């Protein structure tokens, strides 16, 4: 797992994902810990991810 601690936590108010691991990528796509549709990114990138777990739960698939 590689982290990039030299980067700030936010740029122009948008969260920055600094974690470069499979776990962070999976957490961006499927995170049962939150019902937020657009949680802050964990994997590399700027902005918000799309939580397919929250979509499945809110549409009644789970």
pTM comes to 0.78
**Cβ atoms within 10 Å, residue 30:** 12
Per-residue confidence (pLDDT) for residue 4, from 0 to 100: 57
Per-residue confidence (pLDDT) for residue 25, from 0 to 100: 94
Higher pLDDT, 4 or 36: 36
Distance between CA atoms of residues 21 and 19, nearest Å: 6
Residue 58: C-alpha distances to residues 3, 4, 32, 39, 51 (Å) = 32, 34, 12, 15, 11
């Amino acid at each position: 797992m590689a982290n990039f601690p030299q980067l700030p936590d936010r740029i122009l108010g948008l969260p920055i994902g600094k974690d470069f691991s499979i776990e962070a990528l999976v957490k961006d796509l499927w995170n049962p810990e939150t019902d937020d549709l657009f949680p802050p990114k964990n994997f590399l990138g700027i902005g918000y991810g799309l939580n397919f777990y929250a979509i499945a739960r809110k549409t009644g698939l789970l």
